[in-house]
Amino acid sequence: MQPGALAKALKSGAIWGFILLELIFFSVAGEFLSLSDKAFMDWENMLLLLKQSAPIGIIAMGMTIVMVNGNIDLSVGATFAIAAIVLLDSMTWPIFAGLGDWVIPVAWLLALMAGALLGALNGLIVWKTGVDAFIVTLGSMLGYRGIVFMFNGENPTSHLNWTLVDFAEAQFLGLHTATWFLLGVTFAIWFLMTRTVHGRNAYAIGDNREAAVNAGIRVGPHMMVNFAIIGFLAALSAVVFYSESGSVNPNDGQLYELWVITAVVLGGTKITGGAGNVIGTFGGVVAIQLLRKGLGHIGADTSTVNLVIGLILIAVLFLDKQLNVKGKEELKI
């Protein structure tokens, strides 16, 4: 066996095997418990699952870049909420009163800019201070969430634009608008990570930051760009979701960082950086959403779902560590 072959063999394709096991388990469990007369996952439900995966999935693509880079972003849920408020509130600003439906692209742009700027701010602080991204984004998570509550207290921010709702609810080739955004972002990040110098540098920095510096890679600006990307994608996720719902509560987006990180790690990205891929993350997103839907199908409540997700994250991190240790042992043979 080649060095690291066992680790690679178990990681590659494992997420799709896990998805298959989920489908089998929840289908059998649902019939055994007789909790629903409807099949667990028919074609219609699969399309709906992809649509429901979009908010987490879009952010997870950005998290993949950041984690491959050897960093992490815990503020994505709060950024998501801020972008949603900017989107909905800006459409009511008097300065845009004469724009009619042309206010929609303006509001989208403002929301996306807000997300990118908040992400870039995280990256700038990590770059210039040298403080670990976990600590920086933990602080910004609390700070950004505080801004959300300062804006409108405990009250929701609402604005329903029916042109926007029609766009969000539209289907093309059988797929919902949100699904197309998820697929488009997945392709864009896949291309960035596999076909560009920026993507190759992300792996190099995550694998060995000191060696990347010695190779002439500008690590600080590179990381700042990646944080701006995940901020932008958190905002895009909010734009896609709230274009349809039209109302954001100040607690919206909480625990998104848990779902996103679990999906990325489940898809094979190393939490220490240097390894991971977007296709695996896509599988991780589907697996997480399938798990949430499946547990609901057999009657589990929200607290049970969160408990299971947390246990899975711990188990995956433990397995990842064991596989990496096994790979290093093989390298010594």
Give dist(CA 190, CA 200) in Å, integer: 12
Nearest CA to 41 out of 316, 239, 293, 300 is that of: 293
Q: Over the stretch 47-96, which tens digit does the pLDDT of each residue have?
A: 888 988 999 999 999 999 999 998 999 999 999 999 999 998 888 888 88
Give dist(CA 247, CA 126) in Å, integer: 33
Residue with tokens 């494992």: 14
Residue with tokens 């709230």: 242
Paired tokens of 125: 């602080």
Neighbouring CB atoms inside 10 A of 128's CB total: 10
Alpha helices for the chain (secondary structure H):
5-11, 14-33, 43-68, 76-90, 103-129, 133-152, 162-169, 177-195, 197-207, 209-214, 219-245, 256-266, 278-297, 302-332
From first to last of its 333 residues, the chain has per-residue pLDDT tens of 444 444 454 455 678 888 888 888 887 776 665 555 566 667 787 888 898 899 999 999 999 999 999 899 999 999 999 999 999 888 888 888 788 888 889 999 999 999 999 999 999 999 999 899 999 999 999 999 999 998 877 888 888 788 888 888 888 888 889 999 999 999 999 999 999 999 999 999 988 888 888 888 898 899 999 999 999 999 999 999 988 888 888 888 888 898 899 899 888 888 888 888 899 999 999 988 888 888 777 777 777 777 887 888 788 777 766 666 554 454 444
β-partners of residue 248 are: 157
